[in-house]
Structure 1
């Protein structure tokens, strides 16, 4: 089947101080996040001049992929410019009729996968006679994804004194109810946390780590709503009490240095480790690793050249949809929040 383009679909981030508040309002619209929480997160962005690294990192990754795929690449975001609706209108004007979509998330679950389906539906509804869009699959267990993180863990460990360290994998926390609802019902749900655990296991195995932990970061909901735990900062205290004195923290849930990485890990977690007297090294995300561009090219080749999927686990390759038509399993349904629909 032929395709005219590749749409690189991401979360988005502010690129100046005046962008921060409207960006955060886009992210949290309809979620009941209190203004004081927005005030707190806004200060995290302003600490870095109001600029998230995510857009620049996406543009750099796109440039790397351009040399590997024979398709024009367009860039669109969910929450900030370039908005996906505007990008889709640009694609239509350029004569694109059918395009692949690469979402910058390796995992399943509502926020990590299904919400990108909703982005596709929203964008196509906003653009008359919009191009057909085919979203690529999840890639948490792709050999290149695992190899990139494995080398990053090794490089981080080399910055620590000696060989005695604990590998701690982190990913963005989500509400427990949302994780339970993620995945085909017959499989028992919890697709997101299970995939994160599997990716962590594969990387730990690749580096020869005898033990490792999977923890969470960046929760943003009200305190009365249970989210996946433990939090990375709290876990550092637990490890210290157990006698661990050096940690390698690997942000397995992220493909680039989002603000959640540079603030929650490089700032808050690092500071807590220093207070405890623990050695702390943060493994790099794929960012501009050439293998990440190769991974995207391989996902594209699965569609344009019938290339066989490369995977290191038995988890199904979910997430591939056409025009936002959700997976046949109807997995990862959004969890209805209190008061929703009023």
Structure 2
């Protein structure tokens, strides 16, 4: 396949106080999230002026991609579209078609397998094609998962090593420090069914409830720790995978432990410092700034633990170059890079991969 445009595909967020509740209603439509939970989350956005940082971060990433990609021989236009806010997928799909594009490669700001992090984007893009009458006229394919790509991992590992050094310089021993890799929690049923059905027994042996979603996060954390140990020249204490930002119905089981519970447990076990690594996110949006930099830090402060939060990949040069690698895999048959035994992930999602447990819709490839 020859692609003639790239679509930076993302979640979206409000850009003013008046957009907060309509945005949250779009995000949670059909999920049974209590109104009081939406109102609680709305205050997180309003505390930031009613503006999610994700859109500005995507503008910066778009600019970085447009500047760097031609240096890698990628000379096609790059567009940007969101699931839940302007620019909406349907508007961008229509614009791409009007600009003469027919085969588009979508790169998504989600590195992992799950319904909400992968298949739902495919459904959304398929819906946009249907809404605009472009089914069969415009093709959109999606870049593979990149949870263990060197470009994604490198900025995280570099900063984690720096944060460990800083904590030790503050007087803590390595064994005093608890390292927690944090990601967005999802319903247990979504975790169990994440990834291709043919590999679910394999994933269940790694994490019984988290499926491919948890297995990929654990793999990303493990390769990050391996890199950090090489940088520091020593074996580090045990680390753990924790979850955050639960938003669903209280009656529905979600993946645990919650990061705040994990911090309290670490304090009970005698830890003196905690370093949180937002391995599940590519940029510092609200779930990172509010749930980690505010709430998790507050929990650590209450337990008199030193607290540090590692950077996300953001617009780090290694990450932007890694995105170029992923694009070149599809544009020019470039070599596939992966640091874990789980990867490199397949270019195509299986038909039964990460099912929509509420309903089934047509999806793009």
TM range (shorter): over 0.9
Q: Who is 1:28 aligned against?
A: 28
* Bigger Cα displacement from structure 2, 182-191 vs 15-24: 182-191
**Which residue of structure 2 aligns with residue 203 of structure 1?**
224
Aligned position for 2:249: 222
Q: CA deviation at 1:155?
A: 2.7
Match status 1:141 vs 2:148 = yes
Cα distance, 1:319 vs structure 2: 6.1
Cross-structure match for 1:335: 357
CA deviations over 1:259-316 (Å, ceiling 9, x no partner): 0000000000001111111000000101121111101100110011110110112224
**2:112 counterpart of 1:100:** no
Aligned counterpart, 2:214:
193
**Structure-2 residue corresponding to 1:340:** none
Partner of 2:120: 115
Quick one: distance in 1 between partners of 2:138 and 2:165?
48
Equivalent runs, 1:1-342 vs 2, <5 Å: 1-67=1-67, 68=69, 69-129=74-134, 130-160=137-167, 161-162=170-171, 163-164=173-174, 165-188=177-200, 190-208=211-229, 209-318=236-345, 320-321=347-348, 327-336=349-358
Q: Deviations over 1:129-172 (max 9, x none)?
A: 35211110000011121111101212333442244322110000
Q: What is the alpha-carbon distance in structure 1 between the residues aligned to residue 191 and residue 12 of structure 2?
A: 23
Assess if the C-alpha contact under 8 Å between 2:106 and 2:143 holds in 1: yes
Distance 2:346 2:34 in 1: 32
Q: Give 3-state SS (helix, strand or coil) of 2:145's partner.
A: coil
- TM-superposed CA distance for 1:329, in Å, is 5.0
Contact 1:14 1:20 in 2 (8 A): yes
CA distance in 2, matches of 1:3, 1:285: 29
Q: So what's the TM-score if we normalise by structure 2? A: 0.88
Contact 2:188-2:254 within 8 A present in 1 as well: yes
Distance in 1 separating the partners of 2:105 and 2:186: 27
Gaps of 5+ in 1: 322-326, 338-342
How far does residue 4 in structure 1 lie from its aligned partner after superposition?
1.2
Looking at secondary structure, tell me which structure has more helix per residue.
2
Secondary structure at the aligned position of 2:144 is classed as coil
Contact 2:24–2:38 (CA<8 Å) still a contact in 1?
Answer: yes
Farther off after superposition, 158-167 or 31-40: 158-167
Alpha-carbon RMSD: 1.4
The separation in 2 between residues aligned to 1:317 and 1:199, in whole angstroms, is 12
Q: Report the Cα distance in structure 2 between the residues aligned to 1:317 and 1:336, rounded to whole angstroms.
A: 29
CA contact (8 A) 1:114 1:319 kept: no
Do the aligned partners of 1:167 and 1:247 also contact (CA within 8 Å) in 2? yes
Secondary structure of 2:290's match? Answer: helix
Shift of 1:211: 1.5
| 8 Å contact kept, 2:148–2:343 | no
Verify the 8 A CA contact 2:196 2:350 in the aligned structure 1. no
Shift of 1:317: 4.0
Q: In 2, are the aligned partners of 1:167 and 1:213 still within 8 Å (CA)?
A: yes
Q: Is the 8 A contact 2:178 2:237 kept in 1?
A: no
Residues of 1 paired with 2:347 and 2:131: CA distance?
Answer: 22
Contact 2:146–2:345 at 8 Å: present in 1 too? no
